[in-house]
Chains A and B, each alone.
Chain A
Amino acid sequence: MKEEKTPSKNSLLLNLLVLGSLIWAFFPIFPRSSSGIDLSLFSQLPVLQEGRVKPLDTVARSSLLMLSHKESVSTKEEEIPSSKWLLDLISRPEIADLEKVFCIDNLDVLGFLNLPQNAQRYFSFNQIGPSWDRLEKKADSIEKIPAKSRSSFESALLEVEEQMVLYQRLKFSLEIPELPDSLPSILLKNPQAIAKDKRLQKELSDVLTRSNFIDQSAYFWAIPVSSGSQYVWISSGKAIGQLLSQGTLSSPLLFYHQMEEARKTSDPAAFNAAANSYRQWLKKNLPSQWMWSRYEEIFNAVSPFWKGLVLYFIVFILLAISWVILPEILTRLAMRLLVVALSVHSFGILCRIVIQGRPPVTNLYSSAVFIGWVAVLLCWILEKKFPKGFAAMTASIIGFTTLIIAHHLAMTGDTMEMMRAVLNSNFWLSTHVSSITVGYASTFVAGTLGILYILKGVLTPSLDKEAAKALVQMTYGIICFSLLFSFVGTVLGGIWADQSWGRFWGWDPKENGALLIVLWNAIILHARWGGFIRERGLMVMAVLGNVITSLSWFGVNMLGIGLHSYGWMDKAFFWLSIFILSQLAIAALGGLPPPYWKSKIQS
Chain B
Amino acid sequence: MDKIKFAAKECFEFLSSLELTLAGLGALALLVFLCTLGEVQLGVYDSVKIHFNSWFLYSRPFFHGYRIPLFPAGKLVGVVLIANLLLAHFKRLTLSYKKIGLWLTHFGLIILFVGQFLTGRFSRESQMTIKENTAKNYSEDPRHSELDLIDATDSNSDTIYSIPQQLLKTGKTIHLPNQMTLVIKHYAKNAAVDIRKNDDAPFPNYSAIQGPGKNLDIIDMPLSHEDNQPNMPATLVQISYKGKILGNWQLSEMIPLPQQIPVKGKEIYLVLRPKRYYFPFSLFLKKFTHKIYTGTSIPSRFSSLVHIEDPAAPLENRNTLISMNHPLRFEGLTFYQASYAQNDTVSILQVVHNPSWTIPYISSFLVALGLIIHFLLRLKQAKFIS
Contacts and interface: CB of A to CB of B under 8 A. Distances in A.
Interface stretch (B23-31, B239-247, B249-257, B271-279): B23-31
A420 interface: yes
Interface in A503-536: 503-509, 512-513, 515-516, 519-520, 522-523, 526-527, 529-530, 532
Contacts of A515: 32
A481 B371 CA distance: 9
27 contacts: A51-B295, A51-B298, A52-B293, A421-B291, A421-B302, A424-B324, A424-B325, A483-B371, A488-B364, A495-B364, A498-B357, A499-B326, A500-B324, A501-B336, A502-B327, A504-B357, A507-B47, A509-B36, A516-B29, A523-B25, A523-B26, A527-B22, A529-B18, A530-B19, A556-B36, A559-B36, A559-B40
A491 B372 CA distance: 15
Contact of B293 (A51, A496, A506): A51
Contact of A481 (B48, B299, B375): B375
A285 B296 CA distance: 24
Contacts of A424: 300-301, 324-325
Contacts of B294: 48, 51, 221, 232-233
Contact of A507 (B44, B334, B338, B371): B44
A502 B298 contact: no
B33 interface: yes
Contacts of A527: 22
A94 interface: no
A481 B351 CA distance: 38
Given A420-B299, A504-B360, A480 B378 contact: yes
Contacts of B350: 501-502
A422 interface: yes
Nearest to B329: A502
Contacts of A495: 360-361, 364
A494 interface: yes
B162 interface: no
B39 A559 contact: yes
B36 A513 contact: yes
Nearest to A529: B18
Interface string A413-439: 000011111101100100000000000
Contacts of B371: 483-484, 487
A272 interface: no
B132 interface: no
B35 interface: yes
A223 to B, nearest CB: 12
B32 A516 contact: yes
- A425, A428, A488, A529: which has the most chain B beta carbons within 10 Å? A488
A331 interface: no
Contact of A421 (B44, B125, B324, B367): B324
B87 interface: no
Interface in A34-74: 48-52
Contact of A516 (B19, B33, B324, B378): B33
B26 A560 contact: no
Interface string B115-135: 010010001010000000000
A523 B81 CA distance: 13
Contact of A233 (B21, B295, B300, B326): B295
Contact of B364 (A52, A491, A500): A491
- A421, A491, A498: which has the most chain B beta carbons within 10 Å? A421
A241 to B, nearest CB: 16
Contacts of B300: 51, 418-421, 424
Contacts of A501: 336, 338, 350
Contacts of A513: 36
Given A424-B324, A519-B29, A50 B336 contact: no
B32 A519 contact: yes
A418 B36 contact: no
B324 to A, nearest CB: 5
A288 B76 CA distance: 60
B305 interface: no
B166 to A, nearest CB: 24
Given A221-B295, A419-B300, A526-B21, 19 more contacts: A418-B293, A418-B296, A480-B378, A484-B372, A487-B364, A487-B368, A487-B371, A488-B368, A495-B361, A502-B125, A502-B350, A503-B123, A503-B352, A505-B360, A507-B44, A508-B44, A509-B36, A513-B36, A530-B19
Contacts of B22: 523, 526-527, 530, 532
A530 B18 contact: yes
Interface string B88-101: 00000000000000
Nearest to B349: A502
Nearest to B350: A502
B354 interface: yes
B284 interface: no
Contact of B25 (A488, A498, A522): A522
A46 to B, nearest CB: 13
B360 A498 contact: yes
B187 interface: no
B28 A519 contact: yes
B52 interface: yes
Contact of A422 (B39, B292, B324, B367): B324
A48 B293 CA distance: 10
B295 A491 contact: no
Nearest to A559: B40
A436 to B, nearest CB: 14
Nearest to A552: B36
A51 B325 contact: no
A508 B39 CA distance: 9
A16 B324 CA distance: 54
Contacts of A512: 32-33, 35-36
A502 B350 CA distance: 8
Contacts of B19: 530, 532
B368 A484 contact: yes
* Pairs of residues from A and B, 6 with the lowest C-beta to C-beta distance, nearest first: A51-B293, A502-B352, A491-B364, A530-B18, A51-B296, A519-B29
A504 B40 contact: no
A50 B296 contact: yes
B35 A507 contact: yes
Interface in B330-379: 334, 336, 338, 350-352, 354, 357, 360-361, 364, 367-368, 371-372, 375, 378
A561 B222 CA distance: 22
- B19, B25, B36, B123: which has the most chain A beta carbons within 10 Å? B36
Nearest to A507: B48
A50 B19 CA distance: 54
Interface string A465-484: 00000000000000011011
A484 B29 contact: no
Given A233-B295, A420-B299, A508-B44, A503 B36 contact: no
B375 A480 contact: yes
Contacts of A491: 360, 364, 367-368
A477 B63 CA distance: 53
Interface in B201-216: none
B153 to A, nearest CB: 39
A507 B367 contact: no
Nearest to B298: A418
- B295, B351, B352, B375: which has the most chain A beta carbons within 10 Å? B295
